[in-house]
Structure 1
Amino acid sequence: MNTTNKHDVWLTTKRIETLVDGIFAIAMTLLVLNIDMPQIAGPVSNPAIWQYMLSLFQQLGIYAFSFILLASFWRAHHLQFFYIKRSDSALIWINVIWLMFVALVPFSTNFVSNYGNHPIPMLFFNINMFIIGIFFMLIWYYAKRKKFFIKEMTPEYYQTVKKINYILPSAALLAVCITFVSPTWSPVSYFLIFILKNAFKKGLM
């Protein structure tokens, strides 16, 4: 008998959740570093500072948008692991790879913040979101396949979460398509995450 595999199945999820909390805390904090400090030529005055603040409108909007997205990912992961109480090495690595792309969000946000009117930075950001969504789906599917759920998990709730997990990669693919038409408007597709998620949750209640 392979005792290593037997014990591997019974790993807890606490270390995964601790790592997730740490990565999200760092990634969400790094987002604010993408906002440029004022470089005001000439005498500093209230009109000059106001003009600078107006020029930051796009950067502040992207910061808030990315911060809320990351917060929603963290919350969704927290809810998933309320029902997932066992893990193995494969589940750990799926989470680690997922976190690798989560940690990339501050860079992709900065890329968009500086060159968001061009398609390539927006494509990079949207593909980043797509990969995050795919691995998030994989976490849920793998936990189901390995029967890592607590006994309170119902088939109805599993299917509802499964549908919700399709939203992010679908929104990211839509954003990719919109990018080729208008890069500036492609992030609008991510509002589908909040609209459809609420619709699916109401159906469950």
Structure 2
Amino acid sequence: MEKETVRIEGFSDAVFAIAVTLLVLDLHLPEEHLIKNGNDLFIFMKSQWPVFLAFILSFFSIFIMWVNHHKIFKQIYSRNSAIMFANGLILFLVSAVSYPTALLARYFNGEASSMVVAMYTGIFVLINFAYNLLWFLASRNKKLLRPGITDAAIKKIRNNYLYGFPIYLIALIFSFWIPAVSLMIILGLWIFWALSSGKIEMSINESE
């Protein structure tokens, strides 16, 4: 079967690349007149830790989303309108990550920390939902998938994304009371996605 999703994947890769690039815009140099020596620079850098934290979290989150997007489309060979719109939803949300990242960088240290962390966590809840939707729409018709893919492989991929959804919801709930714990859960999740994506691929290859 000829793969019909090449243009979708190429366009998606471009959107992911732009989304990552936009994150860099929040990293600002200090005003030249404020930095007179190394100690001033160190104090400035220290004060910017929420900016660096937001950048690191968002960069690796988008990167791992791109990795998982790539792995999903290794299994999807044909496309229909539903798949294209579900993929569009993912790209829309990914391109919007830079805004809550900017809010997190600016207000995490202040009284609005719970709200900005909730907004930041909330967009990842929506992104996880969009990934689940994409795989549901693709896998309900096996003819759209890679020839030879087994039912067990389809189920493993589905479960991999389903497990993340309640954890993202827990992170969202924690953001209103203990924002730092919410970010730690997000950090733990992208470590989970990084590890599980490789294991899922290995288990699929072994089962076929």
- Normalising by the residue count of structure 2, what TM-score does the alignment of the two structures yield? 0.85
Q: How do 1:1-12 residues align onto structure 2 when only pairs under 5 Å count?
A: 12=4
Q: Which residue of 2 aligns with 1:35?
A: 27
> Following TM superposition, by how much is the alpha carbon of 1:187 offset from its aligned partner in structure 2, in angstroms?
1.2
Q: Given the superposition, is the C-alpha separation of residues 183 and 19 from structure 1 closer, same or farther in structure 2, using an over 3 Å criterion?
A: same
Structure 1 residue runs of 5 or longer lacking an equivalent are: 1-9
3-state SS of paired residue (1:103): helix
- What residue is the counterpart of 1:56 in the other structure? 48
Distance in structure 1 (CA, Å) of the matches to 2:12 and 2:84: 11
2:137 is equivalent to residue 142 of structure 1: yes
Aligned pair count?
Answer: 196
Indicate the SS of the match to 2:171: helix
1:12 Cα offset (Å): 1.7
Task: Tell me if the contact between 2:100 and 2:119 (Cα under 8 Å) persists in the aligned partners.
Answer: yes
1:154 paired residue number: 150
Amino acid in structure 1 at the alignment position of 2:132: M
Q: Structure 1 133/52 Cα, relative in aligned 2: closer, same or farther at 3 Å?
A: same
Residues 1:133 and 2:128 aligned together: yes
What amino acid is aligned across from residue 96 of structure 1 in structure 2? G
Deviations 1:128-156 (A, max 9, x none): 00110001011111111132111231122
For residue 194 of structure 1, what is the aligned residue in structure 2? 191
Distance 1:196 1:64, change over 3 A: closer
Task: Tell me, yes or no, if structure 1 residue 100 matches structure 2 residue 127.
Answer: no
**Alpha-carbon distance between aligned partners in 2 of 1:91 and 1:52, rounded to the nearest angstrom:** 46
Please tell me the root mean square deviation across aligned C-alpha atoms, in Å. 2.2
User: Percent of pairs identical after alignment?
Assistant: 24
Q: TM-score, normalised by structure 1?
A: 0.87
Give the match for residue 121 of structure 1.
116
Q: Higher relative contact order by CA 8 Å / sep ≥ 6: 1 or 2?
A: 2
Change over 3 Å in CA distance of 1:68–1:196 after alignment to 2: closer
Letter aligned with residue 171 of structure 1: I
Q: Which residue of 1 aligns with 2:60?
A: 68
